[in-house]
Every structure is written in C-alpha cells, then in structure tokens.
C-alpha cells in the first residue's frame, strides 16, 4: 500500500525575529484531508506559522514543504481567510463583490463581469450557505455571515489547503457551531486539508483530527488526548498547568488559552 506524501511538512524549523524566538525545532507532517486546529496563547506564533506556509516569511532554519514544494506567495492551491474584523454598517460593498476579490485580488479594481465568473462566485456562496444574501451590503451582515463570505472567498480557486485564522473569534456559541459545521463539511466533502487557528478547542472537538499547540517557541502535534495534558502543557508553558476534562469539555487552568 502506497502512503501518500504529506501536503505540509516542517522539519527542524526555527523562526526568530531578533532575540525573540517564535519557533524552535518544529517538526510536523499533515496529510491531505486532515482537519487540524492550531492552538496557543496570544503572540505564540499561530498566525506567523500561516505566513510561513503562504511563503510570506522564510524560516530562520529548517525546511518547509507545502504540496511538495518550498512555500511561495500567490499559490492558488492554498485558500486563506485572515483574521476578520466586523465591517462597519455604512459599507455598501455587496457580499458577492467581497467574495469576488478571491478571483480579482491580483488586479486593480473589480474583475470584468462574465457568466463564468458569476457562476464560480455563486457556487462558492452556495457552498457556505450565503447565496441568499449575495447582493446585500456587507456592512449590513452579521459577523457570522461575514465570516462565511471570507471562507467562500478562500474557496474560489478550488484549493487543496485551507488556512483559517481565528474564524470563530467574536462569534456567539451558536454562530461558532455554524462555522465549525460549515468548515467540517467543506473539509470532508472536498478532501481539503484545513488548518484553523482558535483559542478554544471545545467547539472543535467533535470534528478535528489533530491539534498543533504552540507556546514559548515549542510546538506539539497530535490528537487532543495526546497533546492537551497537564504534563505536556506544563512543559510548553514552563509553568504548572492543570488540564481538567468535564462535561465533554477540556478546561486548561494556569495558562492563557
């Protein structure tokens, strides 16, 4: 039986900015179709990891391979939804126009209208259940609805890897669950590899495959049971951390999570 090559590999990767160490000897291999959640405290390097995978930052040491190649900017096989800030209500830009930036992002102004372009945008909107407000002003939409648009935008180039930076931030519990279900459906139906940055693992426990935990320049990868333990997190944080399992949730006491 042939074992498929991982779509993302890090081998002895280190990254520093001056005296500040972001990653030290990071190693991981992520397979096609995996749903991986990236956890860690603020400033640990979760978004910076994405920038390295996107080819925007080069590691200080070690080797990164994305789809068998050195990361490069503008790779259409990677869909990326950055950290989202809710758009103000007076913005008149339509939802479908925002999604269309995923096709037109390398051009000035709007892309030329065409049936093919509209069909691609409509398909992405339908996949995230946002077609019903395709012509609504973005500023009139809720945070959850705007987040769906960013995911649709990231799907336009039919990527093999989807990087989502804190898509659950600032959403209430119900909207978080909607986005988790949406991303899981995309991951499984398309066979897309998903890396999703989050601060709370609990909404994602029913759907994730593995976790990458980053803290104090160190990283671990594995299942929640393998990674989120009192012993492992105490080593990562270099301080006593207690992990408690209760009510089908994981509670971490003594660390910023």
In this structure, what token pair is assigned to residue 177?
A: 């669950």
Residue 111 lies in a domain: no
| Per-residue model confidence as pLDDT tens digits over 114-142 | 888 889 999 999 999 999 999 999 988 99
158: Cα separation from own chain's centroid: 16
pLDDT beneath 50, residues of the chain: 1, 106-109, 257
Per-residue pLDDT, 90:
58
Residue 28 pairs with which residues in a beta bridge? 10
Tell me if residue 87 falls in helix, strand or coil: coil
Residue 17 lies in a domain: yes
Question: Pick from 188, 182, 152: which is nearest to 168 by CA?
Answer: 182
Q: Return the CATH number at 57.
A: 3.40.50.300
Per-residue pLDDT, 1:
47
Owning domain of residue 197: 8-87+160-253
Per-residue pLDDT, 176:
94
Q: How many domains does the chain have?
A: 1
Per-residue pLDDT, 231:
93
Residue 106 lies in a domain: no
CA distance linking residue 95 with residue 146, whole number of Å: 8
| Per-residue model confidence as pLDDT tens digits over 180-214 | 999 999 999 999 999 999 999 999 999 999 999 99
Residue 124 lies in a domain: no
Residue 188 lies in a domain: yes
CA distance linking residue 217 with residue 45, whole number of Å: 8
Contact call for residues 191 and 33 (beta carbons, < 8 A): yes
Residue 71 lies in a domain: yes
CA distance linking residue 183 with residue 40, whole number of Å: 20
* pTM greater than 0.85: yes
Residue 108 lies in a domain: no
Contact call for residues 47 and 197 (beta carbons, < 8 A): yes
Residue 1 lies in a domain: no
């Amino acid at each position: 039986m042939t074992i498929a090559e991982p779509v993302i590999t890090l081998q002895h990767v280190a990254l520093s900015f001056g005296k500040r160490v972001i990653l030290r000897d990071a190693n991981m291999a992520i397979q096609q179709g995996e749903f991986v959640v990236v956890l860690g405290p603020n400033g640990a390097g979760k978004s910076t990891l994405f920038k390295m995978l996107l080819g925007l930052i080069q590691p200080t040491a070690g080797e990164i391979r994305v789809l068998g190649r050195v990361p490069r900017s503008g790779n259409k096989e990677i869909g990326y939804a950055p950290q989202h800030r809710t758009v103000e209500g007076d913005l008149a830009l339509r939802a479908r126009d925002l999604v269309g930036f995923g096709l037109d992002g390398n051009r000035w102004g709007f892309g030329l209208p065409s049936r093919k372009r509209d069909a691609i945008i409509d398909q992405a909107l339908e996949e995230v259940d946002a077609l019903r407000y395709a012509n609504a002003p973005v500023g009139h939409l809720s945070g959850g609805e705007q987040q769906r648009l960013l995911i649709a935008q990231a799907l336009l180039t039919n990527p093999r890897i989807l990087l989502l930076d804190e898509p659950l931030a600032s959403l209430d519990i119900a909207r978080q669950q909607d986005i988790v279900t949406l991303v899981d459906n995309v991951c499984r139906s398309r066979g897309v590899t998903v890396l999703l940055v989050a601060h709370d693992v609990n909404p994602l426990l029913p759907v994730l495959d593995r976790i990458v935990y980053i803290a104090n320049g160190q990283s671990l990868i594995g299942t929640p049971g393998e990674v989120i333990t009192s012993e492992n997190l105490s080593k990562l944080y270099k301080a006593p951390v207690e992990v408690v399992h209760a009510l089908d949730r994981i509670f971490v006491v003594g660390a910023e999570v």
